[in-house]
Structure 1
Amino acid sequence: MSQNYFKDILETDGLSIGYKQRRGEDLCLLSDLNLTVRRGELVCLLGPNGSGKSTLMRTIAGLQAPLKGRTLVEGVPIRERNFGEIARLLSIVLTERLQVGNLSVYHIVSLGRHPYTSWMGRLSDKDESMIKWALEQVGLWKYANKFINQLSDGERQRVMIAKALAQDTPLIMLDEPTAHLDLPNRVEIMRLLRNLAKETDKAILLSTHELDLALQAADIIWLMSKNNDLKIGAPEDLVLSGSIEDTFKNKSFSFDRKTGNFIMNYQKKQKIQLVGNDVMGFWTQRALSREGYQVTREKTDYCSIHLIEDRMEWEIHSNGEVTNCKSIQDLLLGLNTYL
């Protein structure tokens, strides 16, 4: 194994983040952080607004001075290097939408090779090869000659990821990479980043508000709270320990450890017995909960709902009467007659 091979691509050594004050004590958000991101690992940084995610990302990237400690990429202290050297260690994909409609996809991705080109910016055969490889990794080689304004938001984000790949750094950092994207593209970008971490052996660190996707895609989650606290672990460990639930605690909703979803809290109505399971039962229970009913598997004094799964129908049983419903919408309307 080469002496230049580092399993821990990113390390922070006693890092304290925050803001230096002209007068009085510095405002410290988190202190004495000893963090790592390993080769081939996707790490997601989660936390409520105001918890310090952006400050941590900027400090790690060397864009903001730490209050104490340092960041190392492959053993190299970031703050002790010039911009050219840093550009060979880490690449950054920001949240802002790209507004350069007169540039081609190939041209934008080629900018990732700037740290390796001469002062004239002439691309070598290796540069050309890296650009093609990066575009192939994100599935956009066939769009190389298209202008950026001809692409969808999801495709534009993949162009920026390709630019980071072409930069060929051991660490890639992304700030809210799924912002401005619709659901299919959010899922695709997170899936792409996970695959890239595994296939390219790079370390990928991203900040996100996409809790549900982070729970599915991340190897490790850094979970920040507003209480100057940072918890680290596999997504499942943070769910089972109650850390996710505690961090995002709110009177308006609750976190369901069984499904990994947030559930809105509604004013409770009567208890309803639900007879039946499987997919139909799950979505029926969700609709009833949304309407404020307390769903139980035990017999109640109010009424019971029986799922007729082979016909995809619902029966409301109350006071010896049975009402048939062809859809959940009909079911909810039918329940109003028993109020």
Structure 2
Amino acid sequence: MSDIKEMQKNILVTKDLSIGYKQGRKDNLCLLSDINLTIRRGEMVCLLGPNGAGKSTLMRTIAGIQSPLAGYTLVEGIPIRDRNYKEIAQLLSIVLTERIDVGNLTVYHIVSLGRHPYTSWMGRLSEEDNDKIKWALEQVGLMHYADHFINQLSDGERQRVMIAKALAQDTPLIMLDEPTAHLDLPNRVDIMRLLHRLARETNKAILLSTHELDLALQAADVIWLMALGKPIKIGAPEDLVLNGSIEETFHNKSFIFDRKTGNFIMNYQKKQKIQVLGNDVMGFWTQRALSREGYQVTCEEAGNCSVKLLEDIMEWEIHKNGETLTCKSIEELLAYLRTSFSTD
């Protein structure tokens, strides 16, 4: 009885799920088994992992597009497997990666397609349907574009249209596959902020797969971390950073994950050590530039060269072989070091 009550608190539950591909009557290619996941109401979950980890297979299996090898998925306590299209479409909505290219349809028309699971075979919209469509457009800030054709919109606005369509579908679970693909940085940030807000304000569960690790670390309530052949790691973004799970999953000799900043840093071959005196913002960007140039930055005395940051006037004071030189930019600093060390 307690298990049933616990399931009722969750929008999505997977129970002993195995994902993969059926290769014949008896042979299966299993990518991952015994998957037990949950998403609560009002929660935004980001699915992360390297290419080939099985993210798309997991998303398709949860959505009922692909059959599980074992186990089952419940949305609001209702099993997805063996449900017909209309029943599934009232439980979950999906926003895919593909760019929309239907120039002869208006924004309102596209969003209205989200009401298809609730209309008759004639597709006639009721007053309630139109209210849902208008509400969805207001939620994504596109009500004033309702009569515009989709090809008049930017990529970011088009993605908002598809999110509005999913909202109009009025399902407890919204799933998105790479929703920030094809978008520039401002639009990627806006879409992630929008999804986080919608989860909170609409009390729906939102699950999205993404490669935007930096944005997921900031926006997700929970991260599902996938690696090929390994159990899915689940937790708050900060916990997965602190316990080393992010580093382990994305380990690569070409870069390292910086726990302090949540960013990946290219692993450049180091030439030699150089002392930098100073910190804060100016110190961070100076260290980054010197690392790119191949120097191993340290705060301790190293060799015959050091760089002192004059933060009040934004200048770099170089001390080398008893001489002092002042640079007014990082570009000037790097140019001097290239010339200086090449003649040593």
| Rounded Cα–Cα distance in structure 2 between residues aligned with 1:17 and 1:307 | 54
From 60, 63, 69, the counterpart of 2:62: 60
Residue 112 of structure 2 corresponds to 110
- What is the TM-score of this pair, normalised by structure 1? 0.97
Secondary structure of the residue aligned to 1:198 is helix
From 309, 312, 315, the counterpart of 2:314: 312
Please show how residues 1-339 of structure 1 align to structure 2 within 5 Å: 6-22=8-24, 25-339=27-341
| Rounded Cα–Cα distance in structure 1 between residues aligned with 2:181 and 2:230 | 25
Residues 116 and 24 of structure 1: is their aligned pair in 2 closer, same or farther, counting only changes over 3 Å? closer
Amino acid at match of 2:188: R
How far is 1:13 from its partner?
A: 1.2
Residues 264 and 229 of structure 1: is their aligned pair in 2 closer, same or farther, counting only changes over 3 Å? same
Amino acid at match of 2:217: L
Residues 24 and 118 of structure 1: is their aligned pair in 2 closer, same or farther, counting only changes over 3 Å? closer
Question: Are the counterparts in 2 of residues 308 and 314 from structure 1 also a CA contact under 8 Å?
Answer: yes
Moved more, 153-162 or 119-128: 119-128
Question: Are the counterparts in 2 of residues 271 and 302 from structure 1 also a CA contact under 8 Å?
Answer: no
For structure 1, the 5+ residue unaligned runs are none
Question: Are the counterparts in 2 of residues 53 and 207 from structure 1 also a CA contact under 8 Å?
Answer: yes
| Rounded Cα–Cα distance in structure 2 between residues aligned with 1:93 and 1:262 | 28
| Rounded Cα–Cα distance in structure 1 between residues aligned with 2:8 and 2:122 | 33
Amino acid at match of 1:91: S
| Rounded Cα–Cα distance in structure 2 between residues aligned with 1:251 and 1:25 | 36
For structure 2, the 5+ residue unaligned runs are none
How far is 1:24 from its partner?
A: 5.9
| Rounded Cα–Cα distance in structure 1 between residues aligned with 2:29 and 2:116 | 36
| Rounded Cα–Cα distance in structure 1 between residues aligned with 2:323 and 2:79 | 75
How far is 1:324 from its partner?
A: 0.9
How far is 1:279 from its partner?
A: 0.5
Amino acid at match of 2:125: L
Q: What's the CA shift string for 1:31-79, capped at 9, x where partnerless?
A: 1111101100000000000000000000000000000011110000011
Q: What's the CA shift string for 1:113-153, capped at 9, x where partnerless?
A: 11111111111111111111100100100100000000000
Question: Are the counterparts in 2 of residues 29 and 228 from structure 1 also a CA contact under 8 Å?
Answer: no
Identical positions, percent:
78
Amino acid at match of 1:96: E
Q: What's the CA shift string for 1:163-185, capped at 9, x where partnerless?
A: 00000000000000000111111
- What is the TM-score of this pair, normalised by structure 2? 0.96
How far is 1:310 from its partner?
A: 1.2
How far is 1:80 from its partner?
A: 2.5
Question: Are the counterparts in 2 of residues 6 and 39 from structure 1 also a CA contact under 8 Å?
Answer: no
Amino acid at match of 2:140: V
How far is 1:229 from its partner?
A: 2.5
Secondary structure of the residue aligned to 2:81 is helix
Secondary structure of the residue aligned to 2:141 is coil
Tell me which stretches of 4 or more aligned residues in structure 1 moved more than 6 Å: none
Amino acid at match of 2:244: G
Question: Are the counterparts in 2 of residues 270 and 302 from structure 1 also a CA contact under 8 Å?
Answer: no
How far is 1:299 from its partner?
A: 1.0
Amino acid at match of 2:173: L
| Rounded Cα–Cα distance in structure 1 between residues aligned with 2:119 and 2:22 | 37
How far is 1:23 from its partner?
A: 6.6
Question: Are the counterparts in 1 of residues 32 and 229 from structure 2 also a CA contact under 8 Å?
Answer: no
Give the superposed CA RMSD: 1.2
Amino acid at match of 1:121: G
Secondary structure of the residue aligned to 2:206 is strand
Amino acid at match of 2:90: R
Amino acid at match of 2:271: K
| Rounded Cα–Cα distance in structure 1 between residues aligned with 2:26 and 2:121 | 45
| Rounded Cα–Cα distance in structure 1 between residues aligned with 2:66 and 2:226 | 19
How far is 1:337 from its partner?
A: 2.8
Secondary structure of the residue aligned to 1:262 is strand
Amino acid at match of 1:112: G
